[in-house]
Amino acid sequence: MEIDLTGKTPDVRNLSELEKVVYDKVWFAAADKSAVLYQMYRKLKIENGLRYDVTIIPPRMLGVEFVKTKGHVHAGFYGEVYMVLDGEGLYFAQKGDEEKIEDTFVVHGKKGDVILIPAGYGHVTINPGSAPLKTANWVAETDKGNFEPFERNQGACYYYLQSGWVKNPNYKQVPELRFEEPKKEVPANLDF
């Protein structure tokens, strides 16, 4: 499902809001903190207690790191479904805390792909491409993302850099990253 965004006003995420989660601190110190990294169109549709959002992430580098969302954990025990509307993205998810990450995986999604983020996982969306990533999601209407775990640990347990995946040293125990395939359709049951 795609909704016309004409006339809609997005929330924007500026670089300054990612200060605590950016890998390249030297680059960040000299960067324009007011730069808009991505746009979020929220509550475009409400259906059965779920809200439909669209996020647009233009391609860019944050120093040596590919542009990404801030990252959050769902405040309730909710999952989330993403649909790639255009471009390509890396959907990174982790479960656990700074003492021990129990599981971590990434899904490389392209236009038409569906990515499922299970309940209890924190996640980050990354645009590794040269074109804008346009992604939609269904999530519980009442869900409020909790950014604090990612801020406290200076990002997710892995960063995606020009050189590839790098572990974040602020986490004590991190498993090897596993790679999952995207789904081809949205599940019929979206009861989170």
In a domain, 174, yes or no: yes
pTM of the predicted model over 0.85:
yes
Span 146-150, mean pLDDT? 89
Q: Is 86:34 a contact under the CB 8 Å cutoff? A: no
Percent with pLDDT over 70 in the chain = 97
Q: Is 54:85 a contact under the CB 8 Å cutoff? A: yes
The pLDDT score that the predictor gives to residue 74 is 79
User: Which residues sit opposite 83 in a β-bridge?
Assistant: 114, 136
DSSP secondary structure code for residue 78 in this structure: -
What's the rounded Cα separation, in Å, for the pair 51 and 148?
Answer: 22
Which residue, 127, 135, 137, is CA-closest to 58?
Answer: 127
Q: The domain that contains 104 carries what CATH number?
A: 2.60.120.10
Q: What is the total count of domains within the chain?
A: 1
- Within 10 angstroms of residue 182's Cβ, the number of other Cβ atoms is 18
Structure confidence at residue 191 as a pLDDT band (50, 70, 90): low
What's the rounded Cα separation, in Å, for the pair 97 and 100?
Answer: 5
In a domain, 5, yes or no: no
In a domain, 109, yes or no: yes
Q: Which domain holds residue 62?
A: 11-180
The pLDDT score that the predictor gives to residue 77 is 74
Residues present in the chain in total? 192
In a domain, 192, yes or no: no
In a domain, 27, yes or no: yes
The pLDDT score that the predictor gives to residue 57 is 98
Report, in this order, helix, strand and coil percent for the chain, each rounded to 5: 10, 45, 45
Q: Note the pLDDT tens digit of each residue in 93-146.
A: 999 988 899 999 999 999 999 999 998 899 999 999 999 999 999 998 887 788
In a domain, 186, yes or no: no
In a domain, 185, yes or no: no
Structure confidence at residue 152 as a pLDDT band (50, 70, 90): very high
Residue with tokens 């599981």: 103
Provide the residue type at 177 as one letter. L
Q: Note the pLDDT tens digit of each residue in 162-189.
A: 999 999 999 999 999 999 999 999 888 7
What's the rounded Cα separation, in Å, for the pair 16 and 95?
Answer: 26
In a domain, 191, yes or no: no
More confident of the two residues 98 and 39: 39
What's the rounded Cα separation, in Å, for the pair 186 and 176?
Answer: 28
Quick one: residue 50, left, alpha or beta (phi over 0 = left, psi -120 to 50 = alpha)? beta
